[in-house]
Chain A
Amino acid sequence: MNSNFLIELENVDRRFTSPEGKIIQVLDNFSMTVKPGEFCAVVGPTGCGKSTTLSLISGLAKANAGKVLIEGKEFEGIDSRVGYVFQTDAVFPWKNVLDNVAVGPLFRGVDKKEAIEKSLDWIKRVGLQGFEHHYPHQLSGGMRKRVALAQTFINSPDILLMDEPFSSLDVQTKLLMQQELLQLWSKHKAAVVFVTHDIEEATILADKVYVLSKRPTKVKKIYNVDIERPRIVTETRYTKKFIEISKSIWNDLSEEVNI
């Protein structure tokens, strides 16, 4: 097949079995492709399988049918090029901020001193300097999210999976973080799959927006967001093109939610 895709999901099925043996078909003949360096956003009704899609790409879960390919190849286990910011809090509560951020390089065998240096650098980049020795329970929800971001970015992943990373933030911080994300991404061009409920967020960040249907889930529509970069989140949101695209995504989505 076409191997200039970095991530390919080919006719993937993913189902869960309830304790009574009932089958919940989540992804149904689901296909999706992401090119290297492409920023993809995924929106869809709640429970449609967005998180499930990310866990298939990460290798944490396996498809029941179909293929999940990275660089055209099927893979075992978890690819080291993947970074995953989870929907729920996943920082280690017994480690302080510094150690939480350093954990990726340490797992991967980087020596302690270098890992700490990198960690300090990333802590600064996400604006947490001064909190290096705080434990997660001493931070606000938004700060914990930043720890999670730094923890993922420090591994400089080529494939970046993000599951509603900014949903718990207030609007100001959210816009700041979006801008920051775009900047980071423009420097290190990772392929991003960004799950969100926020249509404007999807439109402002992405090259491509996947709109998913409700379960059993298929791709309902794909939008190409051809707004030129660099984008400025606080300004681009008022351009005509932006409003046009987010409106039609909105319409698509409300068809799925309102039934």
Chain B
Amino acid sequence: MSDQNNINREEEIKKLEKISVEKVKERWRFVIFYRFMFLFVTLGGWEVLGRTGTIDPFFFSMPSSIAYQLYIWIIKGTSQGPLWLQVLVTLEETVLGFLIGAVMGIICGIALGRNKMLADIFSIYIKIANAIPRIVLGSIFIIALGLGMASKVALAVVMVFFVVFGNAFQGVREADTNLIANARVLGASDRQVTFKVVLPSALSWILASLHISFGFALVGAVVGEFLGSKQGIGLLIATAQGAFNAAGVFAAMIVLAVVALLADYLITRLENRLLKWRPTVQ
């Protein structure tokens, strides 16, 4: 009798579950639909406004011209060589700058964070350096390092370094003193405390900074190219600007966005792997 009841109850719950799963799916379809609608209306509106002359396509371009420009770049290449080569050059500068800046930032952040005296002496300068718009250094780097890759990498490094440094430093300062005490009693040497306790505690701070700083590295590389170079997406933008080619500027922007999104995806994957011990936030 009560077994029968239990079975009925289970079936009821299963039914409820089916309904709720269906509802979740329904909601998701709704979201996707309106996302496409939004895109369609925005781009369509832009196109219509451009074609009717309400906004001047010479200055603001139109989705169709941008798409055409991209098509031309992909099929026939740009005035400065194939598109993939431009992407590759910019990407190389970005990644190099990002890696160098991030590693330097992590090392310096931890070294300073672990040493109270150094921290007290330098923290004020770090704040100042962070407040300066460092992108202006691009001009100095072009003068000093020339039009080649070095000046762009240098600018990307400067952009990345301070962000990662600041976060690594903060992460180290906030490492739980209780955990450090526990590690020391359990037998950890100073080295082990740094690498097995402080570094993992700071890791979520550091990874968070990597997210933003890849974008900064990209900005550094592109602005560097923009200021003076022989190749890269930044030059593509500069050239398009010189030729009053608004579609070219927008098209280059799209290429950059794709690169940035891909990088962000990869960093998120890395983060999830390294921080799998964290409670999942939903």
Contact = CB atoms under 8 A, between A and B. Distances in A.
A82 B278 contact: no
Interface string A78-100: 10101110101111111110000
Contacts of B188: 107
Interface stretch (B100-108, B115-123, B179-187, B213-221): B179-187
B133 interface: no
A104 B197 contact: no
B200 A90 contact: no
B277 interface: yes
Interface of B: 176, 178-179, 181-189, 192, 196-197, 200-201, 203, 275, 277-279
A95 B187 contact: no
Contacts of B187: 80, 104, 107-108, 155
Contacts of A103: 183, 186, 196
23 contacts: A55-B181, A58-B185, A78-B184, A78-B185, A82-B185, A84-B181, A86-B182, A90-B176, A90-B179, A90-B181, A90-B182, A94-B201, A94-B203, A94-B277, A103-B183, A103-B186, A103-B196, A104-B186, A107-B183, A136-B277, A137-B277, A151-B182, A151-B186
A96 B55 CA distance: 60
A86 B178 contact: yes
Nearest to B197: A92
Contacts of A93: 277-278
Q: Which 8 A-B pairs have the closest CB atoms?
A: A90-B182, A107-B187, A104-B186, A108-B187, A94-B277, A137-B279, A84-B185, A107-B188
Interface of A: 55, 58, 60, 78, 80, 82-84, 86, 88-96, 103-104, 107-108, 135-138, 151-152, 155
Interface centre among B179, B197, B201, B203 (most CB of A within 10 A): B179
Contact of B277 (A60, A86, A104, A135): A135
A104 B184 CA distance: 9
Contacts of B184: 60, 78
Contact of B178 (A82, A90, A151): A90
Given A86-B181, A94-B277, A104-B187, 15 more contacts: A55-B181, A60-B185, A84-B182, A89-B178, A90-B181, A93-B278, A94-B200, A94-B203, A94-B275, A103-B186, A103-B196, A107-B186, A107-B196, A137-B277, A137-B279
A104 B196 CA distance: 12
Interface centre among A55, A88, A92, A151 (most CB of B within 10 A): A92
Nearest to A82: B185
A60 B277 CA distance: 28
Contact of B185 (A83, A88, A89, A96): A83
B280 to A, nearest CB: 9
A107 B192 contact: yes
Nearest to B188: A107
